[in-house]
Amino acid sequence: MKITPFLDRRLSRRFSTYDSDQDGFVERSDFDLASARLTEAFGLTADDVPAERFHEQLLSVWGHLAAMTDTNDDERISLAEYKSAFVRGLLGRPEAFDDVYVPYLDALLAVADHDGDGFLGIEEHVLWSRALMNVSEADARAAHARLDHDGDGLIGTEDLLSALRAYYFSEDADGPGAWLLGPL
């Protein structure tokens, strides 16, 4: 896979959201920290069932990411390793993408869907985006508006999955995926 300038910006931005402690590397501890921030933001403790499930799924994402990218086996991922995995086609395969992200998004909604309606309203979306990926409130609101295709104020798992797919696989700079983590 060729990394276009636009994909390069998206990969750099996504890497920074994985790097919870902003030390320039992605490690398992970044995923532990992100999980704790998210569950705390929604008033859960680490031993609440939705929090445990989310943490487990987030660590599954970490495991997949590390297995595909950590070429020097130092248990941390550099930005160069992350981008190189895309060039080699290890992360950029839509068929493997859904296997990792569908259970993750289901677990995310179990935490972030605070009112239990099966969807994320604007406030829920802003809260999870800020807690998990450090997206600003304004950017999270803009992303939510782009993901809410029918204008009912709600987005679901399929909306998020479509946006994630587009984030990685679409060159449409105005599409909802391009705005998922804020403007690029």
Confidence of residue 152 (pLDDT cuts 50, 70, 90): very high
Rounded CA gap, 180 and 16, in Å? 14
Rounded CA gap, 55 and 64, in Å? 14
- Give the mean pLDDT of the chain: 90
How much of the chain exceeds pLDDT 90, in percent?
Answer: 59
Count H helices, E strands: the chain? 8, 2
- Residue 92, pLDDT score: 57
How much of the chain exceeds pLDDT 70, in percent?
Answer: 95
Residues 80-134 have pLDDT tens digits of 999 988 777 655 566 667 887 889 999 999 999 988 999 999 999 999 999 999 9
Residues 131-143 have pLDDT tens digits of 999 999 999 999 9
Residue (of 145, 147, 151) closest to 176 by Cα position: 147
Residue 171: how many other CB atoms lie within 10 Å: 12
The CA–CA distances, whole Å, from 10 to 17, 83, 171, 180 equal: 11, 10, 10, 10
pTM over 0.75: yes
- Residue 90, pLDDT score: 58
Mean pLDDT of 171-176: 86
Residues 27-72 have pLDDT tens digits of 999 999 999 999 999 999 999 999 999 999 999 989 988 988 888 9
Rounded CA gap, 100 and 117, in Å? 24
- Residue 102, pLDDT score: 87
Phi (first) and psi of residue 121, to 5 degrees: -80, 175
Torsion of CA 30, 74, 98, 136, to 10 degrees: 30
Rounded CA gap, 12 and 101, in Å? 19
- Residue 41, pLDDT score: 96
The identity of residue 116, as a single letter, is G
Phi (first) and psi of residue 159, to 5 degrees: -60, -45
